[in-house]
């Protein structure tokens, strides 16, 4: 195949999860249900936090922003996949692909950083309860969210710029249900050494560093909880972290696994299944 001169007419073909027409109908119904539950659940969380003054605390402020980010994250990939499944048309234009990459990285990084910020919030609440309101002041909470948004914006634009510099070939088939950066880099006809290095470095900064912060926070939390004499006290402390910790394990476990495997393996089936976990289920 010859390199394609990007004039705005290039289209990618999203192969999706299955080419079986009967299975596609089942997948459409399943992912439509997941998407509706995602939007409904996050909208209810946002409304509850907005309307109840008792929930105007740092933990719920971060949860409010995480819900907004989650809706954006799911809306970046699922609606396009549902349209393709329903219309049996698997194409996506070059401009749409770049837009999807930009928003996917934006909301994905935002989720990652907010989960790290929420781990810090739980650390302060459990290990320094008397100084909680002083340490996590409204000003600091807003600054943490703004900094997370700024880092996510920069990362999304860098990824978008990298993809825009790639040269693709005619009739490019993406073995995925959305425009994922590692898959696009694999399919490029041009040299991708610089793109691989930059993506790897960004993955470390935006994946491993927040994950390391979360690990350290829970290490300090665990040490603090073990010093609590009563079982009821230990249970109450752990119960405030349970849902956050389960989301962290699913999001980082599958997300980091996908991007690490993409650098060492050419197989896309396993990474596609894992992507369903961190883009939809979480």
Task: Identify the pLDDT of residue 120.
Answer: 93
Give tens-digit pLDDT for 211-251: 888 989 888 888 888 877 777 777 777 777 778 888 888 78
71 and 42 Cβ atoms separated by less than 8 Å:
yes
Supply angle C-alpha 135, 136, 137, rounded to 5. 95
- Of residues 183 and 269, the one with the higher pLDDT is 183
Which region holds residue 88: left if phi is over 0, alpha if psi is between -120 and 50, else beta? Answer: left
Judge residue 189's burial from the number of C-beta atoms within 10 Å of its C-beta, 0-12 exposed, 13-18 middle, 19 or more buried: middle
Judge residue 87's burial from the number of C-beta atoms within 10 Å of its C-beta, 0-12 exposed, 13-18 middle, 19 or more buried: exposed
Cα–Cα nearest to 42, from 201, 218, 247, 270: 247
Map residue 11 onto helix, strand or coil: strand
Q: Which two tokens stand for residue 253?
A: 């476990």
pLDDT mean across residues, the chain: 83
99 and 21 Cβ atoms separated by less than 8 Å:
no
Q: Is the pLDDT of residue 19 over 80?
A: no
Pairing of β 172-174 and β 11-14: parallel
pTM of the model: 0.86
Distance (Å) of CA 128 to CA 123, 132, 134, 181, 224:
8, 6, 10, 41, 10
Give tens-digit pLDDT for 175-189: 878 888 888 888 888
Give tens-digit pLDDT for 141-161: 999 999 999 999 999 999 899
């Amino acid at each position: 195949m010859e390199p394609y001169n990007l004039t705005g007419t290039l289209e990618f073909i999203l192969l999706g999860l299955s080419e079986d027409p009967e299975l596609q109908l089942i997948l459409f119904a399943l992912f439509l249900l997941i998407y509706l539950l995602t939007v409904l659940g996050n909208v209810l969380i946002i409304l509850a936090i907005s309307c109840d003054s008792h929930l105007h605390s740092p933990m719920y402020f971060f949860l409010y922003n995480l819900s907004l980010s989650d809706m954006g994250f799911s809306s970046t990939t699922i609606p396009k996949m549902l349209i393709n499944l329903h219309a049996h048309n698997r194409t996506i234009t070059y401009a749409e692909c770049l837009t999807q990459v930009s928003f996917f990285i934006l909301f994905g990084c935002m989720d990652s950083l907010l989960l790290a910020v929420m781990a810090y919030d739980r650390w302060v609440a459990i290990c320094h309860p008397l100084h909680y309101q002083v340490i996590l002041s409204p000003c600091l909470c807003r600054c943490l969210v703004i900094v997370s948004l700024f880092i996510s914006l920069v990362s999304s634009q860098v990824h978008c710029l990298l993809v825009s510099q790639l040269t693709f070939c005619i009739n490019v088939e993406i073995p995925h249900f959305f425009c994922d950066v590692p898959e696009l880099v694999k399919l490029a006809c041009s040299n991708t050494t610089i793109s691989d290095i930059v993506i790897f470095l960004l993955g470390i900064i935006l994946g491993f560093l927040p994950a390391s912060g979360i690990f350290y926070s829970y290490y300090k939390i665990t040490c603090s909880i073990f010093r609590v004499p009563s079982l009821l006290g230990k249970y109450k402390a752990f119960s405030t972290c349970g849902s956050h910790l389960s989301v962290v394990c699913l999001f980082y476990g599958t997300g980091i696994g996908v991007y690490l495997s993409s650098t060492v393996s050419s197989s896309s089936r396993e990474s596609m299944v894992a992507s369903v976990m961190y883009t939809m289920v979480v």
